[in-house]
């Protein structure tokens, strides 16, 4: 299946980026170097639509590939540990400082830990982690 997808991608890229007679010669020479997809937004848009179609097709047919999903998760998870930790620490410090400023206005700085645990640790940390992983 992967080889068929690659062949289809190659056919689409040849179709989309076929040289026209009005194209400048510098653009033609750049195409011959093999980086014709690098600056072609039509190619990228077409590939995105085709990828979305393949995803929907596999979801509707029930072909999930659970083994492949687990392999990808095990590969991506440990690599993202350092960025997730750094992002959450920085965002947590900023959140605590801003919350402490607002609570100082009302004299409720003593309940900063409760507010931090309730809001940041329960909701925002998971959102940041999901954003970094995606």
Name the domain count of the chain. 2
Q: Please give the structure tokens belonging to residue 79.
A: 């690599």
Q: Tell the residue number behind the tokens 């690599």, with chain if given.
A: 79
Q: Tell me: do 56 and 7 sit in the same domain.
A: yes
Same domain, 17 and 59: yes
Q: What is the pTM of this model?
A: 0.47
- 28-75: per-residue pLDDT in tens? 444 444 555 567 888 888 888 998 898 888 888 876 777 877 887 788
- Looking at the domain assignment, is residue 68 inside a domain? no
Residues 120, 78 share a domain: yes
Report the distance separating Cα 99 and Cα 22, nearest Å: 60
- Coil vs helix vs strand at 115: helix
Range of the domain at 115: 73-133
Q: How many residues does the chain have?
A: 134
Does 92 reside within a domain?
yes
53 and 78, same domain (yes or no): no
């Amino acid at each position: 299946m992967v080889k068929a997808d690659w062949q289809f991608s190659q056919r689409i890229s040849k179709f989309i980026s076929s040289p026209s007679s009005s194209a400048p010669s510098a653009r033609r020479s750049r195409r011959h170097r093999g980086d014709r997809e690098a600056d072609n937004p039509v190619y990228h848009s077409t590939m995105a639509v085709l990828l979305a179609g393949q995803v929907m097709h596999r979801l509707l047919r029930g072909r999930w590939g659970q083994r492949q999903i687990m392999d990808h998760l095990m590969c991506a998870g440990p690599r993202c540990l350092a960025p997730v930790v750094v992002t959450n620490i920085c965002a947590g410090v900023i959140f605590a400082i801003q919350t402490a400023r607002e609570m100082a206005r009302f004299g409720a700085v003593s309940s900063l830990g409760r507010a931090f645990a309730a809001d940041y640790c329960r909701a925002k940390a998971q959102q940041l982690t999901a954003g970094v992983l995606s």
